[in-house]
Amino acid sequence: GHHTDFLNMNIEQLNQHYASLKERYDEYKNQNMKLDMSRGKPCPEQLELSKSMLDTVTSSDRLQASDGSDCLNYGGVDGIPEAKELFAQILGVSSNEVIIGGSSSLTMMHDTISRAMLHGVYGSEQPWVKQPTVKFLCPSPGYDRHFAICELLNIEMIVVDMLHDGPDMDAVEALVSQDDSIKGIWCVPKYSNPDGITYSHQVVNRLANMKTKARDFRIFWDDAYSVHHLTDQPDPLTNVLSACKEAGNPDRVFLFCSTSKITFPGAGVAAMAGSVENINYMRSLISVQTIGPDKINQLRHTRFLKDMDHVRSHMAKHAAILKPKFEMVLGKLESELDGKNIAFWNKPNGGYFISLNTLDGCAKIAVKMAADAGVTLTAAGATFPYGRDPRDRNIRIAPSFPSVKELEKSIEVLSICIQLASIDKILLEQ
């Protein structure tokens, strides 16, 4: 980097720096900006890419699935065949290992864990809730809504560090081998939320092979960003269901995904997958809850997305919109913060986030200062269980929704706030 390491500056230099940064901060504050980088929402241009999907189903069409069933009527609790086939391709499983849901994969995750609490999973001796405590491993930073599900259901969360190639597997193996109240682990295996990390082959294999004290342990494999690449060289991800089968643990994993960030987050299609035993058990419970999900939306999606080749070319259009935004954020972070030794961030090959770590104890205050200047970020701490980042250093940046111009300003403001917070901390410690 071309900047001076803040940790090598003397007090006078730091104070000078602070004064000029504060001036820039106050200027921005006076502009009364209102920029939102808090959630990973697609921008309007991205939504536009799928608008024509709405025309694939019209009142004059035959609204029959490939098996001849009428999509307007009851039936098909686990989805129409062509939707199962499409999601099987996306998730790398067989179509008889898939259940199609409603519009949200988060709902399927929530319901899967709720059912496990009430009834157990395939092979459980008793409902999870019958145990004095139920615990989940939470690789962190991670997805706040996963943690919210655990919190709601009173599932104790154990933080496991995210390393450069996935969760700290030494820690995971040690924990699951000793404690039979640990029933699950949250995984976002590809372009993880928020780190943008893809699990290595070794990590996937260790997850599939590890000895778990709980015989009904489950991996919650949230493959939300499986086709959401930002480069021509996608990160490879080992097939977890195959790995589990090879390890002799075919029932260990539930996979989830949706088209929320392929078509529409408000009107997409979600799916889950797993071994035939897992899926049969799940289907039997789901069929009490509903006679079936929205098959018209499944028809729309399969007519529009067709197959993996079409999904890939459709996702390339998303990437073309998102890439300049990620480049703006990364470029701005580099020009503002690189070499100062106060912030460290990932350069993801896909997904929706850039994860940044400040010096310990600086994230909350930096996010608050940015908010005071009109730039809303994901709440500091949200990427950890119970909203508590033990080192108060992780900031999740969601570049998808704002325009490139808005991002330029927002990241400048954030960078100023991080520097101010860092100088405050360094001076306090001197």
Could you give the CA distance from residue 40 to residue 193 in angstroms, rounded to a whole number? Answer: 9
Nearest approach, Cβ of 192 to ligand PMP (angstroms)?
7
Nearest approach, Cβ of 355 to ligand PMP (angstroms)?
12
Helices (H), 290-358: 295-305, 308-337
Could you give the CA distance from residue 287 to residue 155 in angstroms, rounded to a whole number? Answer: 26
Nearest approach, Cβ of 193 to ligand PMP (angstroms)?
4
Nearest approach, Cβ of 402 to ligand PMP (angstroms)?
17
Nearer to ligand PMP, 240 or 362 (CB): 240
Nearer to ligand PMP, 78 or 222 (CB): 222
Nearest approach, Cβ of 104 to ligand PMP (angstroms)?
3
Nearer to ligand PMP, 332 or 396 (CB): 396
Residue 144 near residue 378 (C-beta atoms within 8 A): yes
Residue 262 near residue 305 (C-beta atoms within 8 A): yes
Residue 375 near residue 410 (C-beta atoms within 8 A): yes
Residue 9 near residue 404 (C-beta atoms within 8 A): no
Whole-Å CA distances, 416 to 22, 220, 328, 334, 424: 8, 38, 16, 13, 12
Nearest approach, Cβ of 353 to ligand PMP (angstroms)?
8
Nearer to ligand PMP, 261 or 409 (CB): 261
Nearest approach, Cβ of 365 to ligand PMP (angstroms)?
26
Rg of the chain in Å (alpha carbons):
23
For the record, the structure tokens of 121 come out as 């999973």
For the record, the structure tokens of 328 come out as 């703006």
Nearer to ligand PMP, 258 or 302 (CB): 258
**How many other C-beta atoms lie within 10 A of the C-beta of residue 118?**
12
Nearest approach, Cβ of 143 to ligand PMP (angstroms)?
4
Whole-Å CA distances, 234 to 19, 143, 167: 44, 22, 20
Residue 425 near residue 419 (C-beta atoms within 8 A): no
Nearer to ligand PMP, 122 or 225 (CB): 225
Dihedral class, residue 405 (left if φ above 0, else alpha if ψ from -120 to 50, else beta) = alpha
Nearest approach, Cβ of 141 to ligand PMP (angstroms)?
12
Nearer to ligand PMP, 182 or 269 (CB): 269
Cis bond leading into 141, ω under 30°? yes
Interacting residues with ligand PMP (CB under 6 A): 40, 104-106, 143, 188, 193, 222, 224, 258, 260-261, 265, 270
Nearer to ligand PMP, 105 or 410 (CB): 105
Crossing angle of the two packed helices 276-289 and 105-119, in degrees rounded to 10:
90
Nearer to ligand PMP, 109 or 121 (CB): 109
Could you give the CA distance from residue 261 to residue 259 in angstroms, rounded to a whole number? Answer: 5
